[in-house]
Amino acid sequence: MPRQAQNSRISLTLINLLLLLCIEVKAQAGHLADDEVSALREIADQLGKRNWNFKVDPCTSNNQSWPTTQVNSNQPFNYNNTLICDCNLTNDGVCHVVQIFLKAQGLAGILPPALAKLHHLKIINLNDNYLSGNIPEEWASMQLEHLSISTNNLSGPIPPYLGKITTLKILSIEGNQFSGTVPPALGNLFYLESLILSANNLTGELPATLINLTKLIEFRISSNNFTGRIPDFFQTWKQLQKLEIQASGLEGPIPPSISALSTLTELRISDLFGEGSKFPSLHGMTNMSRLDLSFNKLEGNVPDLGGLARLDYTFLTSNLLTGNIPEWIKNSTSNIDISYNNFSKSSAPASLCRDGLNLFKSSSSKDDLELLECLDESPCSQDLSSLHINCGGKETTVGRIKYEGDEDPAGPTKYFHVKPNWGFSNTGHFWDIDNTPNDYLANNVSVLTMENFQLYTRARLSPLSITYYARCLVNGNYTVKLHFAEILFKSTISSYSLGRRIFDVYIQEKLALKDFNIENEAQGFDKAIIKNFTAVVTNKVLMIRFHWAGKGTTTTPNRGIYGPLVSAISVESDRSPPVDGKIVVGVIVSVLLLIFMILGILWWKGCIGGRISREKGHGFTTKREFDELVDPELGSEFIKKRHYND
């Protein structure tokens, strides 16, 4: 045999051997059932998913997750592209798809009816995409345990046939635009542990059948348009750990049976409509760690919750609570907010201003300017007629106006004065994420090109409520300008564009903006909108409060993104020129010096006599300008500052 032929025979054998080996590997690892492969093709079409690689078997990779090419390396943080097979379900070397995670991939198709052809699928998670339409009826035949389709563009009613998927343990449709009532058939989901309906447009009363969901661990229905009272399901929900009913549309009172929920770890009920309630009895909830009962018209005394040793955040903000501030609150080392209540002033602790306990306006007695005690206690040295703050950002100058910096990281129950003449009271905790000090500041996610973009690149965020206050203002009428730009969402076809930020603004305790949505007002993301108001200052104090009333999305583009966002605040007395005093003074000083010099020369030359006095007062419109001109120390402060700024 010629040498060459021999060589090729050897290679052929080698190839055969390799082929054999390959087949063996494949047989060991199994392969995906043919009908499921074609189902996956249909699913990809329906979802709009283009990067599944059908040239390789979805189940053969070692870790049994289908390798797909990454679209780009800069994936969103919740990106997940995983398909999990089980090759041991049947003993025939055939694999089946059991779990699919396709999160944050910008999928813009529909919920795929063909999913029902994957007969062994247990888990489907399509969160954070841009899928439209409704839940297909085909899915009713599936034996799903885990169905998550949060943060998409889904709409229409919740279909009653969901109640047929009785294997469900987790059902999450949060952050879509589902409307209509919750179908009573959901009460058939006997194994359900987690029911999450928040941030939709659901209406009507909750169906009584939900009382049968006795295995529930988590129930969330915030930011909807339900009607009626909070239903009394709690007798049977004996395993509930997380209960969240914020801005749900439901009315109070909180049913007393809530005290039966001894396993609760997180309780959030806020912004209830209707009548007030007594403080519910929570004594038995020894595992409670986070409690938010803010904005509920709760009346009467606060019971002793000192026994709840794991409680680390408590928000009782904005109720009608009365009586003495309890000892357990004063002694607590956890974060507690009782701001905006009606406690007796005499029960206030000696130190009003410690971190971790927010007492801001916790008593509504007439002389309730407790805030002054947390400030520089000295009386106002001079009254100002304007204030400009670059909220969340550093000091910056726009035109001739200097916006003061506001970069304190704030915190969950923080009462803070930035400068002797202004500060803020912040409250709230970003739920469901590990909070970091940076959560209270927003940084732009896109390049900003609007006019005066430096006011908008960083902004102040609050998970519940933040009140900016200014003191030592000249009494009178003011123009208040609030600058906003939505810098955390962006208009790509992705879950980034599905965020709905909604909050309220109060100026001097009067509602100025209700259900304010920056994106709607500015007609897009990364666009500035300036809202102008008038405010009357009568006791030298001005307060501007931004309040999240539980509405909008909280998981878009990532969990924990919600709450008021403000970029800058500008406050100007109607009686002052609309520019910063100090710089005007600088100009005036120079001009006046020049005039004096000229006049001096002219006088020296004997040209004029008594005109100076008439020129002098010209241009002094505020007391401060005058003071600065006549007070050499203020003048030198001015010069130092200018130098420093340069």
In the complex, the residues that contact ligand NAG under the rule CB under 6 A are: 61, 63, 65, 67, 80, 82, 88, 101, 108, 130, 132, 153, 155, 177, 179, 187, 201, 208-209, 211-212, 225, 262-263, 286-287, 306, 320, 322, 327-328, 331, 342, 364, 476-477, 481, 530, 532
Task: Pull the structure tokens for residue 505.
Answer: 């603004």
Minimal distance in Å, beta carbon 41 to ligand NAG? 20
Nearest distance from C-beta of residue 491 to ligand NAG, angstroms: 11
User: What ranges make up the beta strands (E) of 455-566?
Assistant: 458-461, 465-470, 476-485, 503-507, 510-516, 528-537, 542-547, 565-566
Closer residue to ligand NAG (CB): 164 or 481 = 481
DSSP conformation class of 624: H
Q: Could you give the CA distance from residue 588 to residue 635 in angstroms, rounded to a whole number?
A: 12
Is the CB of 225 or the CB of 435 nearer to ligand NAG?
225
Cα separation of 305 and 321, whole Å? 15
DSSP state of 446: S
Helix (H) or strand (E) holding 19: helix 3-29
CB of 4 to ligand NAG, least distance (A): 39
Pick 252 or 476: Cβ nearer ligand NAG? 476
Q: Report the first-to-last Cα separation within the chain, whole angstroms.
A: 91
Note whether 276 and 299 are within 8 A (CB). yes
Cβ–Cβ contacts within 10 Å for residue 7, how many?
Answer: 11
Please state the closest distance from residue 137 (CB atom) to ligand NAG, in A.
17
CB of 212 to ligand NAG, least distance (A): 4
Residue with Cβ nearer ligand NAG (145 or 408): 145
Q: What is the DSSP letter of 326?
A: P
Who's near 414: CB < 8 A, 6+ residues apart? 355, 358, 408, 424, 425, 426, 427
Q: Is the dihedral of CA 257, 259, 260, 264 positive or negative?
A: positive
SS3 assignment, position 425: strand
Q: How far is the CB of 536 from ligand NAG (least distance, A)?
A: 6
CA distance 200 to 180: 10
CB nearer to ligand NAG: pick between 80 and 634:
80
CA-based torsion, 261, 265, 271, 277: positive or negative:
positive
- Choice between 55 and 605, CB closer to ligand NAG: 55
Q: How far is CA 467 from the centre of its chain?
A: 16
Minimum CB separation from ligand NAG for residue 201, in Å? 4
Helix residue ranges, H only, 482-611:
518-522, 581-604
| Smallest separation, CB 276 to ligand NAG (Å) | 10
- Closer CB to ligand NAG, residue 82 or residue 167? 82
Q: How far apart are CA 475 and CA 579, in angstroms?
A: 18
- Whichever of 13 and 166 has its CB closer to ligand NAG, that residue is 166
- Least Å distance between CB 634 and ligand NAG? 26
Nearer to ligand NAG, 288 or 629 (CB): 288
Residue 55 region by backbone torsions, left for phi larger than 0, else alpha for psi between -120 and 50, else beta: alpha
Are 133 and 157 within 8 A, CB to CB? Answer: no
Rounded Cα distance, 454 and 448, in Å = 9
Between residues 211 and 445, which has the closer beta carbon with respect to ligand NAG? 211
Q: Which one, 65 or 446, has the nearer CB to ligand NAG? A: 65
Task: Give me the residue whose beta carbon is nearest to ligand NAG.
Answer: 67
Structure token digits, residue 539:
């006791």
Cα–Cα distance, 236 to 379 (Å, whole number) = 58
Tell me the closest approach of the beta carbon of residue 112 to ligand NAG, in angstroms. Answer: 15
Q: Count how many residues are written for the chain.
A: 646
CA distances from 224 to 202, 232, 494 (A): 5, 19, 23
- Closest to ligand NAG by CB, 117 or 483: 483
Q: How far is the CB of 6 from ligand NAG (least distance, A)?
A: 39
Q: How far is the CB of 641 from ligand NAG (least distance, A)?
A: 25
